[in-house]
Amino acid sequence: MAGNLNREMNYGSVLTTLHEAVASRENTLPSQPGQIFGPGAVYDFFKALNELVESASKSLFIIDPYMDNGIFDGYLTNLRQGIGTRLLVSRYAESVRVAAETFRTQRATSVEVRRSSEIHDRVIFIDDAQCWVLGASIKDAAAQKPTYLAPLSSDVIPEKLRIYEALWRAAAI
């Protein structure tokens, strides 16, 4: 076909192949676009993250070194029952752990908390199928500085999840 690019039939085949390749790639992109939040857009971030958390149907894995116990009142109150939730934190691990215990006592929801000094990024996995990255810690997002909430492409999620699963297993209980 390469020697006969001027023929109409081959031209159509080339275009069809290109369109199929583009469509195939588009199907692997996250269905929800990322968002940018300017300084002071605290409620917009709050609403977007709540919608994301509420979309979980099986599991929720949040990694944020500076997450504090405000995660429960701000984002986990509308979590559907039965969603396995894991929180990997660093700085405020003890207060998050205490809040998780009282949260579990009142609700039929599994919430596990572990502490790791090996985390830096803020990442959210939904049902092990979606991965979102945050520009700032959940507790401070969009308060005074701009931040973002962006989905990762499905082709990188398994490797990213593998890395954070290893950090989870190595983290202090």
For residues 75-107, b (16+ Cβ closer than 10 Å) or e, as one string?
A: bbeebeeebebbbbbbbbbeebbebbeebeeee
Q: Which class does domain 32-170 fall in? A: alpha beta
List the beta strands (DSSP E) in the chain: 35-37, 59-63, 84-89, 111-115, 122-126, 130-134, 147-151
At residue 15, the pLDDT reads 59
Q: What is the pLDDT of residue 56?
A: 96
Q: Give the span between the Cα atoms of 5 and 26, in whole angstroms.
A: 26
Q: Span 88-108, mean pLDDT? A: 93
Cβ-Cβ contacts under 8 Å for 155 (sequence gap 6 or more): 28
- Domain range annotation of the chain: 1-30, 32-170
Q: Is residue 101 scored above 70 in pLDDT?
A: yes
The confidence band for 88, taking pLDDT boundaries of 50, 70 and 90, is very high
Residue 122, number of CB atoms within 10 A of its CB: 21
Determine if residue 142 is left, alpha or beta; phi over 0 gives left, psi from -120 to 50 gives alpha, anything else beta: left
Quick one: pLDDT band at residue 28, thresholds 50, 70, 90? low
pLDDT value, residue 29: 47
- The closest alpha carbon to 126, from 50, 65, 41, 70, belongs to 50
